Amino acid sequence: MNTAMVEARGVRKSFGSTEILKGIDLRVERGSVTCLIGPSGSGKTTFLRCINHLEKVDAGRLYVDEQLVGYAERNGRLYEMKERQTARSRLTAGMVFQRFNLFPHMTVLENIVEAPVHVLGRPRSEVTAEAQTLLDRVGLGNRGHSYPQELSGGQQQRIAIARALAMKPKLMLFDEPTSALDPELVGEVLDVMKSLAEAGMTMVVVTHELGFARQVSDQVVFMDQGVVVESGPPAEVLGSPHHERTQAFLSKVL
């Protein structure tokens, strides 16, 4: 079997009368790293949020791990999913946000343990041990009892990655994970993401870090104005882009 982890066919999304996604076609292979790049307003983040059903897809089909996102298909009709089913289906993917979104009223350890215990109903002691391992993995083994606000941005983002991993997702979504960080803190987060990629995690990363995209990704997707302009291996898209919009964007960013 070689089915894609994420498969989008003509995905459309509008907010009010503005169409943000104008038919996205995209395939993310299992175990691969895909970087979505493009100017702001191009729809990268919206598309990423659609994968996790944080936004509802208006038209087209979006499959994650062979499951249609947000709808059930029966007898040639699409039935909108109930909230509980949607919540279940979100467990396939873990998500990391630009502004970390750690729960400020919980300690680092409580942040990580929260969902495995209260959503999956797993025993707290078992999850806590795993959480400690995850913290060690992101290099913050000694910060379990700190509150998020006591940590630097880079540390918070690494905790957010650990929190998402604690749910044992098959796919990790990163929404500009380093854009809110001071420049000297970007490296530590990218290092964690690199090690995750090396461990074989399927990742979709919205990013402006072209160095990371070139080095780590298997596929780079350039989006502009709600469409995929160009996609392919990083050397191709970043090194010798065919499309002039890609060329224009890269010349501005590099």
Partner 1 sequence: MQQQHIIPDAGQITPAAPGDSIPVVPLKHPLRLAIAVVLILVALSAAWDVAVNKRYHWDVVASYLFAPQITTGAGLTILLTVVSMSVGIALGTVLAIMRLSANPIVSTISRGYIWFFRGTPLLVQLIFWYNIAALYPVIAFGLPFGGPSLVLGSANVLITPLGAALLGLSLNEAAYMAEIIRGGIGSVDKGQYDAARALGMNGSQLMRRVILPQAMRVVLPPTGNQVISMLKGTALVSVLAISDLLYSAQIIYANNYQTIPLLIVASLWYLLMTTILSFFQTKLERRYGRGFDAAPRRTRRSKTRTIR
- Which residues here bind partner 1, judged by CB under 8 A? 49, 52, 54, 83-84, 87-88, 90-91, 93-95, 97, 99-107, 114-115, 118-120, 147-150, 152-153, 156, 160, 163-164, 167, 180-182
Task: Please identify, using beta-carbon distances, which residue of 77 and 105 lies nearer to partner 1.
Answer: 105
Beta bridge partners, 6, equal: 28, 64
Are 214 and 44 contacting, i.e. CB atoms less than 8 angstroms apart? no
Task: Please identify, using beta-carbon distances, which residue of 167 and 250 lies nearer to partner 1.
Answer: 167
Alpha carbons within 13 angstroms on the beta-carbon side of residue 197 total 23
Q: What is the 3-state secondary structure (H, E, C) of the chain?
A: CCCCCEEEEEEEEEECCEEEEEEEEEEECCCCEEEEECCCCCCHHHHHHHHCCCCCCCEEEEEECCEECCEEEECCEEEECCHHHHHHHHHHEEEECCCCCCCCCCCHHHHHHHHHHHCCCCCHHHHHHHHHHHHHHCCCCCCCCCCHHHCCHHHHHHHHHHHHHCCCCCEEEEECCCCCCCHHHHHHHHHHHHHHHHCCCEEEEECCCHHHHHHHCCEEEEEECCEEEEEECHHHHHHCCCCHHHHHHHHHHC
Are 71 and 80 contacting, i.e. CB atoms less than 8 angstroms apart? yes
